[in-house]
Amino acid sequence: MSTTPPLPAVAGIGLRSPHVARVRRDKPAIGWLEVHSENYFADGGAALAALEAIRTDYPLSLHGVGLSLGSADRLDTGHLSRLKRLAQRLEPAIVSEHLCWGRIDGRHLNDLLPLPFTREALALCCDRIDAAQAALRRPLLIENISAYLRFDADAMTEWEFVAAVARRTGCKLLFDVNNVYVNAVNHEFDPLAYLAAIPGDAVAEIHLAGFDASGPCLVDTHGARVAPPVWALYRATIDRFGPKPTLIEWDTDLPALDVLLDEAAVAQAILEEADAVAA
Partner 1 sequence: MPSLRDVQSAFAASALFGDTAALASLGIVANGLDPAARIGIYRNNVLGNYRKALAATYPVVQRLVGTAFFNTAIDAFVRAYPSTRGDVNRYGAELARFLAAYSPAHDLPYLPDVARLEWAIDQANIAADAAKLDLDALGAVPPEALGGLRFVLQPSVRFIVSPYPIWRIWQVNQPGHDGGDSVDLGEGGDTLLVRRDSQGVAVERLAAAEHALLAALAARASLSAAAARATEVDRDFDLRRVLRDRVADQTIVAFRAPPIGRSGSQG
Q: Which residues are at the interface with partner 1 (CB under 8 A)? A: 38-39, 41-49, 64-68, 71-72, 76, 78-79, 82, 101-111, 113, 115-116, 118, 120-121, 124, 148-153, 187-188, 215-217, 219
Asked if residues 65 and 112 have their Cβ atoms less than 8 Å apart, the reply is yes
- Please say which residue, 109 or 256, places its beta carbon nearer to partner 1: 109
> Which residues, including other chains, have CB under 8 Å from residue 171's CB and lie 6 or more apart?
129, 133, 139, 140, 141, 142, 165, 202
- Please say which residue, 92 or 102, places its beta carbon nearer to partner 1: 102
Q: What is the dihedral of CA 111, 52, 13, 241, to 10 degrees?
A: 90
- Please say which residue, 38 or 205, places its beta carbon nearer to partner 1: 38
Residue 56, phi-psi category: left (phi > 0), alpha (psi -120 to 50), beta (remainder)? alpha
Asked if residues 44 and 52 have their Cβ atoms less than 8 Å apart, the reply is no
SS3 18: helix
- Please say which residue, 145 or 203, places its beta carbon nearer to partner 1: 145
HEC string of 19-56 equals: HHHHHHHHCCCCCCEEEEHHHHCCCCCHHHHHHHHHHC
CB of 45 to partner 1, least distance (A): 5
CB of 60 to partner 1, least distance (A): 19
**Nearest in space to 177 (alpha carbons), one of 225, 231, 139, 221:** 231
Q: Enter the DSSP assignment of 105.
A: T
Q: Could you give phi then psi for residue 241, rounded to 5 degrees? A: -95, -15
Beta-bridge partner residues of 14: 34
Beta-bridge partner residues of 205: 174
CB of 142 to partner 1, least distance (A): 16
- Please say which residue, 31 or 70, places its beta carbon nearer to partner 1: 70
CB of 231 to partner 1, least distance (A): 25
CB of 126 to partner 1, least distance (A): 13
CB of 232 to partner 1, least distance (A): 24
- Please say which residue, 185 or 261, places its beta carbon nearer to partner 1: 185
CB of 124 to partner 1, least distance (A): 6
- Please say which residue, 219 or 261, places its beta carbon nearer to partner 1: 219
